[in-house]
């Protein structure tokens, strides 16, 4: 027995694979990083091949494969849910069901093809994979665990309690009643892409008035005595349609038509986004309170795609009885590749809980790789190789002077947040920086906020939050006396989605913050992911340089190389 467990999540969105040995996550990557297809749902063949190459193993070395959900139970839900659709959907129902049955058979064949015929294949429950990822990577040996997303097999929300190496399910909400699907349906209604545009809706919400649609919105659900809810499915079609999430009755109820992607964003759209976020938080905190009431604990672990709702997350310690909250770096389906594998590890008798908190689990590149990329693109760029001690003060000065800097080093982050290894950095004090980043660097909507990295020990001076936020997954208030001085990272409601940093977590960015404190007056830097609109985060040095050349970024740092554009 080699002891290797391969975790896989795929088929819906955010496909990923992870390699585990002796309870340690060796590596994990989303498939989109290799294919360039945002939220790629395909079988993560490129990720698996990278894992094998990186850790010098072959398919024969894999003892077990952990798949993140249970296809049999999911197909049961799909088949039964489709029956609610009109008779005109009869043939489409058969097509959807057949497509999903074929898909899972293909996945099984692909798993055997990339491993071997005797491999043990374990199917986890979808929400158990979510919960396991959050709990088993947390610093707690006891915790309440809440998993909220669109849907797994039948469950859309689960309440767990973790103790030692065991997770026990407490309560559940079943499809079609889903907080995640409710948020995604309104994401679609507002003209954004479901399973991708939800964070845009969160960014839009502070511009609106949540009271404008409140009475109408509350006709969409009924509260249950157990802390849950039921949605009024008269307005939604996501349970039987694979193309539409709502019907014309929703627009009639709200008194406005759904927005098309090319339409202007008007005040009613902002008000509706605000109402949606308000009601999400209302239903979410009923679940949080229910979990604490059933099995009280100081510690809460969050998982599922809804754990990316940083606005709600940042209010947990203020609005609940929990004293600590843990949200891992990739709480959506991607992280379930790790969760399913860790669950199998403990189910097979594993006892060793090791530190799996690092988000830096992806590919890394050598200086030879960097120089090869620079040679290929030397017509367009020039570069200097510097000592580490030289780079930090140079870049600190550039950021202070208003330059936008691409930063590439080490192993790629796992999850949707750039945490210093594939980042674009800017001056948080520059009143033009947010507009410039959105307009000419990221090439995206102007209302979207940017996030700051701050030294952990300095965090409470500038932000109204006392706990560590290592993965940029909680939105907190910027202290009023600093808001005017930090316009680039302060959202319209005075908030910011922070990443707090220690020297141990990221030495070079930490040292950059130290220099910025001297040069710019704040140990803070604006940080956003190293990609342009509708592109995936850059994977390798060549893609980083090409992206740098494709926008108005001023400087690029890859390892110890400072790169500039040639003026032709």
Helix (H) or strand (E) holding 214: helix 214-217
Tokens of 407: 């930063």
What was the pLDDT predicted at 90? 65
Task: Determine how many CB atoms are found less than 10 A away from the CB of residue 215.
Answer: 9
On whether both 547 and 419 belong to a single domain, the answer is yes
Please tell me the distance from the alpha carbon of residue 400 to that of residue 15, in angstroms, as a whole number: 38
> Residues 150, 336: contact at Cβ < 8 Å?
no
Tell me the DSSP string of 76-143: HHHHHHHTTS-GGGHHHHHHHHHHHHHHHHHHHHHHHHHS-TT-EEEEPPHHHHHHHHHHHTSS-SEE
What was the pLDDT predicted at 568? 66
> Residues 347, 523: contact at Cβ < 8 Å?
no
Classify residue 145: in a domain, yes or no: no
Please tell me the distance from the alpha carbon of residue 378 to that of residue 481, in angstroms, as a whole number: 46
**Domain ranges, residue 78:** 4-135+333-347
On whether both 521 and 451 belong to a single domain, the answer is yes
Is there a cis peptide before residue 203, judged by omega within 30 degrees of 0?
no
On whether both 379 and 301 belong to a single domain, the answer is no
Please tell me the distance from the alpha carbon of residue 93 to that of residue 70, in angstroms, as a whole number: 20
Classify residue 62: in a domain, yes or no: yes
Long-range pairs, 154-158, Cβ under 8 A, ≥24: 154/73, 154/76, 154/77, 155/125, 155/126, 155/127, 156/180, 156/181, 157/127, 157/228, 157/287, 157/304, 158/127, 158/128, 158/130, 158/131
Predicted model pTM: 0.95
Structural domain ending residue among the three candidates 347, 379, 401: 347
Please tell me the distance from the alpha carbon of residue 46 to that of residue 30, in angstroms, as a whole number: 9
**CATH (domain of 17):** 3.30.420.40
Task: Determine how many CB atoms are found less than 10 A away from the CB of residue 73.
Answer: 16
Classify residue 537: in a domain, yes or no: yes
What was the pLDDT predicted at 104? 86
Structural domain ending residue among the three candidates 313, 347, 381: 347
Residue with tokens 């809810």: 229
Question: In the beta sheet, which residues pair with residue 405?
Answer: 425, 555
Helix (H) or strand (E) holding 216: helix 214-217
- 444 Rama class: left (phi>0) / alpha (psi -120 to 50) / beta: beta
Classify residue 543: in a domain, yes or no: yes
Closest-CA residue to 426 (of 440, 436, 412): 436
Please tell me the distance from the alpha carbon of residue 121 to that of residue 66, in angstroms, as a whole number: 6
Do β-strands 555-558 and 405-408 pair in parallel, antiparallel, or remain unpaired? parallel
Classify residue 162: in a domain, yes or no: no
Phi and psi angles of residue 552, each rounded to the nearest 5 degrees, phi first? -95, 40
Q: Write the CB contacts of 60 (distance below 8 Å, at least 6 apart in sequence).
A: 115, 116
On whether both 125 and 219 belong to a single domain, the answer is no
Q: Write the CB contacts of 128 (distance below 8 Å, at least 6 apart in sequence).
A: 158, 160, 167, 169, 339, 343
Classify residue 153: in a domain, yes or no: no
> Residues 528, 513: contact at Cβ < 8 Å?
no
Q: What is the dihedral of CA 79, 80, 81, 86, to 10 degrees?
A: 90
Classify residue 142: in a domain, yes or no: no
Classify residue 169: in a domain, yes or no: no
Structural domain ending residue among the three candidates 265, 297, 326: 326
On whether both 48 and 86 belong to a single domain, the answer is yes
On whether both 461 and 501 belong to a single domain, the answer is yes
- The count of domains in the chain is 3
On whether both 275 and 416 belong to a single domain, the answer is no
On whether both 186 and 310 belong to a single domain, the answer is yes
**CATH (domain of 385):** 3.90.870.20
Residue with tokens 């088929």: 11
What was the pLDDT predicted at 39? 94
Q: Write the CB contacts of 93 (distance below 8 Å, at least 6 apart in sequence).
A: 82, 83, 85, 240
> Residues 287, 146: contact at Cβ < 8 Å?
yes
Average pLDDT across each block of 10 residues of the chain; the chain has 568 residues. List them in order: 90 95 97 96 97 97 96 88 76 80 89 93 97 97 97 96 96 97 97 92 96 97 96 95 93 97 95 98 98 93 96 97 97 97 94 91 97 94 93 98 97 96 97 89 82 97 96 97 97 96 96 98 97 94 96 96 90
On whether both 255 and 341 belong to a single domain, the answer is no
Over 434-480, what HEC string results?
Answer: HHHHHHHHCCCCCCCCCEEEEEHHHHHHHECCCCCCCCCCEEEEECH
Q: What is the dihedral of CA 155, 157, 163, 168, to 10 degrees?
A: -30
On whether both 300 and 338 belong to a single domain, the answer is no
Please tell me the distance from the alpha carbon of residue 433 to that of residue 525, in angstroms, as a whole number: 11
Q: Give the ranges where 155-213 is alpha helix by DSSP (H).
A: 179-189, 198-204
What was the pLDDT predicted at 1? 54
On whether both 544 and 516 belong to a single domain, the answer is yes
On whether both 338 and 311 belong to a single domain, the answer is no
Please tell me the distance from the alpha carbon of residue 143 to that of residue 168, in angstroms, as a whole number: 11
Do β-strands 451-455 and 524-529 pair in parallel, antiparallel, or remain unpaired? antiparallel
By the 10 Å C-beta count (0-12 exposed, 13-18 middle, 19+ buried), 212 is classed as middle
Closest-CA residue to 426 (of 512, 529, 526, 530): 526
């Amino acid at each position: 027995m080699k002891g290797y467990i391969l975790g896989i999540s795929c088929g819906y969105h955010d496909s990923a694979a992870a390699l585990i040995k002796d309870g340690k996550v060796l590596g994990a990557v989303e498939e989109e990083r290799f294919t360039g297809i945002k939220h790629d749902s395909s079988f993560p063949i490129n990720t698996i091949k990278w894992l094998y190459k990186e850790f010098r193993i072959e398919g024969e070395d894999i003892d077990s494969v952990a798949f993140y959900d249970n296809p049999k139970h999911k197909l049961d839900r799909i088949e039964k849910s489709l029956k609610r659709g009109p008779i005109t959907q009869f043939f489409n129902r058969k097509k959807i069901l057949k497509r999903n049955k074929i898909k899972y058979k293909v996945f099984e064949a692909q798993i055997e093809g990339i491993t071997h015929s005797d491999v043990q294949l374990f199917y986890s429950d979808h929400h158990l994979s979510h919960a396991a990822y959050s709990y088993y990577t947390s610093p707690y040996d006891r915790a309440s665990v809440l998993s909220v997303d669109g849907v797994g097999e039948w469950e859309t929300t689960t309440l767990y309690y973790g103790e030692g190496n065991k997770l026990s399910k407490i309560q559940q909400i079943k499809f079609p009643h889903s907080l995640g699907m409710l948020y995604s349906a309104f994401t679609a209604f507002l003209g954004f892409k479901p399973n991708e545009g939800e964070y845009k809706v969160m960014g839009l919400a502070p511009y609106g008035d949540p009271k404008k649609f409140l009475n109408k919105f509350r006709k969409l659900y009924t509260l249950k005595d157990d802390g849950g809810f039921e949605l009024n499915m008269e307005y939604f079609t996501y349970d039987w349609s694979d193309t539409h999430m709502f019907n014309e009755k929703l627009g009639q109820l709200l008194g406005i038509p759904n927005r098309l992607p090319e339409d202007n964003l008007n005040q009613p759209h902002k008000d509706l986004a605000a109402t949606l976020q308000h009601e999400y938080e209302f239903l979410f905190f009923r679940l949080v309170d229910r979990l604490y009431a059933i099995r009280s604990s100081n510690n809460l672990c969050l998982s599922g795609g809804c754990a990316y709702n940083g606005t709600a997350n940042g209010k947990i310690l203020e609005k609940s009885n929990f004293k600590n909250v843990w949200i891992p770096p990739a709480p959506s389906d991607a992280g379930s590749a790790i969760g399913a594998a860790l669950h199998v590890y403990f189910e097979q008798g594993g006892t060793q809980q090791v530190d799996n908190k690092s988000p830096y689990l992806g590919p890394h590149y050598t200086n030879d790789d960097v120089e090869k990329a620079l040679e290929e693109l030397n017509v367009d760029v020039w570069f200097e190789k510097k000592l580490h001690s030289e780079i930090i003060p140079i870049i600190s000065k550039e950021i202070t002077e208003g330059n936008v800097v691409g930063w590439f080093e080490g192993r790629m982050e796992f999850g949707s947040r750039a945490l210093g290894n594939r980042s674009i950095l800017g001056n948080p004090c520059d009143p033009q920086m947010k507009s410039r980043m959105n307009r000419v660097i990221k090439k995206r909507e102007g209302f979207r906020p940017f996030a700051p990295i701050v030294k952990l020990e300095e965090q409470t001076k500038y932000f109204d939050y006392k706990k560590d936020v290592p993965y940029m997954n909680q939105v907190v208030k910027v202290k009023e006396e600093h808001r005017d001085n930090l316009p680039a990272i302060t959202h319209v409601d005075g908030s910011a989605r922070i990443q707090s940093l220690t020297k141990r977590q990221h030495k070079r960015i930490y040292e950059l913050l130290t220099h910025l404190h001297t040069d710019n007056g704040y140990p803070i830097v604006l940080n956003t992911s190293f990609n342009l609109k509708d592109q995936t985060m850059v994977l390798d040095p060549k893609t980083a340089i090409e992206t740098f050349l494709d926008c108005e970024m001023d400087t690029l740092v890859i390892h110890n190389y400072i790169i500039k554009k040639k003026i032709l």
